[in-house]
Structure 1
């Protein structure tokens, strides 16, 4: 293995320093940012359902209140699906070229802010319904107050 002389080592170090500094900016700069605004905002709607008699409770009134809450959660789940999508996991098992086990799972995860309850009402004798609305303009405004999204407007070098 050949060793480098001190002069060669200095040349390699100098060449490395020049090549690395060539990738960085030698100037100070000032960057101006501007907020990015979408062109349109949809209004999403969701409906949730819950059976009254299936709810746990000691009286009909308690079961009805629980059905109201359950239908509201179901409507929020539907809104979350619209905003974030739904995750689907599936699997199948084969034995001797015959399906022995088949599973399909779905899940939804997300945070919904700014939804408004439009109506909550019973349908028939055993179902409660909740209607929700999510104005994406309001969601965008809430997002702006917390995240402050921006893009480069102008760069000035000194």
Structure 2
């Protein structure tokens, strides 16, 4: 029995290591673009070396793109394997990637820097890989914490809806965006993550936006700090702390924070702008 338990523990540890390795292998998309540098050989004309460097850059770009996580279950590489349409689209955006610079070093090698934006229209990675899902509205806060568990609202009001979310959930309607602080939890980046409650309900995700919105701007930005790189959340962001991370990519928050976020959204629709930042 002890030997079986030991074997089970070893196998479990190996599985954890494999899963951790998969998450760590994901291409980081914090900067919003994928940038690579291709290098030529020597002994050719400048024109041929530039072509060779560009081909090298496109190869590197394809490698980086394949490691981008679309959602918690799918990488770009997975999507390419299962869909010829996605494969052709990804190939097209790689070939259409922008050449940022072309330089020659002291040894005669040509260096070409190329980059591909994650979002921003037909030439973006999002246009090639983000699925078009039916759009759904945001949940009301009462779906997370029912109204009858909160103190009663005042009997007289000029706007019952705003009074309900304001008095029962503490909403003010003054926030410009949302920052979810996931620092220390090992969050990995994805193009279509979801924000969950600890009850596994989706507070914020791909289904809350039109396909056009997601392709043009995405709906989540990433930062390495809650004090910098969070301009996307606007001048007065709401800040909540994640409790844990689900499947490496999806922050999980408390029901209380989820209800408060959704109540704020009922006040002014601030989630629909996509001004949300996850801090890693």
Q: TM-score, normalised by structure 2?
A: 0.26
Higher helix share: 2
Q: Which structure would you say has the larger Rg?
A: 1
Higher strand share: 1
Q: TM-score, normalised by structure 1?
A: 0.44
Which of 1 and 2 has higher RCO (CA within 8 Å, sep 6+)? 1
